[in-house]
Structure 1
């Protein structure tokens, strides 16, 4: 029968007992274990995972001592967030940036093409207006035969409807250019006919004001962050009201009532078409709620051209009435 002191130790005590009694550093059976040394990290000490030596004198187990499941072998770095994106994600990012750059290049080429076509159209239009203003025989001819004006108005309306419906320049590229040329000459003849009824001073004044308005609107649209492309419904209502006011004005002026109503109608028309110019310019630029496709450069040039010429005609009515 054994005594209590000869009984085997418990499981908890066996975990702390030395495996060999020959080690002089190990405490004897039954003696209390010394407490572990206190540890407080010094400033700047690396509190990384096991397998690294910490600065400031703190020693972590060497990588060779921690080899096994769950530990990285010695000599192999551990991946961190600063290692960058994986190869596949980096390639996707490069593709995204290249696509963005390509889309910007396409949009810039589209804008240059639209303004080149618009420049040619405005050159033709204001050249015709200058001929009808300065050449007296031509001026007298268009005033004497107004039927040509109404014929050009019919051609203008029909060709305009065709160009609005045909927005596929790749399939109908030559046809659209021919129709655009016919439309430009028809509208130029109409503008020249209207200009022939006014003095040369009023025509030049209207040209100058139109140029200032168009340049200011273009600079404003390229600089502002306000999105006017979401105001399409408002502009549609304004266009309908302008048409109604024009019909009422034509009826009232035929009876010689309210002579100043004509100038009021012209002022409203100039403001409405200036708003249309802002709207169509932002559609052309892009980066807004709505934008014109880069394939519809003929439609883009057509919309800007109609807005600018209509602004000129309305301002011409105001300046002509003022000079009289």
Structure 2
């Protein structure tokens, strides 16, 4: 954080954190509300650009049929598909380490977003348009609703930091469940249960990460904050897609 920002924040704290009369985001807020709102806007702008890029890349994969067929009908394509699945997770390591180093952080974020979008597009390529539309609509409604709720709850003094350990434990259970499902397919009912559990878990993560955005992420962590929310939204969409495909 720059010296000017640090001095500005210190003056706001010494003056009671009022930030020039702006209303605090939560009752115990000491920092400047203007600085925090500026940070929040920056994160949501980055998140919006990530989602728009994801939609664009996924749409190309879905509508240009030879791309999807290449990945599923040939050995090199299948190997590349597996590589594309792992690249986003591999990119997370240097992205976490360099998330404050500009412009490398944006370059790594671009690689992370495009490769993950490609994997999402391949998942949607063999799914009916009706199911994709239903998943997109429900994801949009849920994300907006939970975001508004979290801001409302934070302003009234609620804190969701306690969700962290529970969500992490639930995510581990979900990963083991997915591994079992891959090794020993248990049918559509099991797939639907998995999708429903995953949807609930990532709804919890949206609340948890939004609460961190309001209270705990530092101003230099805008990349990591956007990545966290982006993963929550994408995973919620894929979970709902799983539920609708199992129910179809």
Identify the TM-score tier after normalising by the shorter chain. 0.7 to 0.9
1:109–1:260 Cα change, 3 Å: same
Aligned residue number for residue 219 of structure 2: 294
Equivalent residues in 2 for 1:153-302, closer than 5 Å: 153-167=85-99, 169=100, 172-224=101-153, 225=156, 226-253=158-185, 257-286=186-215, 291-302=216-227
- Structure 1 distance, partners of 2:12, 2:53, is 45
- The alpha-carbon deviation at position 180 of structure 1 amounts to 0.5
What runs of 5+ residues in structure 2 fail to find an aligned partner?
Answer: 1-9, 20-30
1:95–1:135 Cα change, 3 Å: closer
- Structure 1 distance, partners of 2:16, 2:182, is 56
Q: For the Cα contact (< 8 Å) 2:189–2:246, is it kept in 1? A: no
Q: For the Cα contact (< 8 Å) 2:167–2:205, is it kept in 1? A: yes
Aligned residue number for residue 55 of structure 2: 126
TM-score by length of 2: 0.83
Bigger helix share: 2
1:195–1:95 Cα change, 3 Å: closer
CA deviation profile, 1:46-90 (whole Å, cap 9, x unmatched): xxxxxxxxxxxxxxxxxxxxxxxxxxxxxxxxxxxxxxxxxxxxx
What runs of 5+ residues in structure 1 fail to find an aligned partner?
Answer: 1-91
1:143–1:95 Cα change, 3 Å: closer
Q: For the Cα contact (< 8 Å) 2:12–2:18, is it kept in 1? A: no
Aligned residue number for residue 14 of structure 2: 96
Say which structure, 1 or 2, has more relative contact order (CA 8 Å, 6+ apart).
2
Q: For the Cα contact (< 8 Å) 1:159–1:183, is it kept in 2? A: yes
- Structure 2 distance, partners of 1:163, 1:310, is 19
Deviating 4+ runs (over 3 angstroms):
92-95
- Structure 1 distance, partners of 2:13, 2:122, is 55
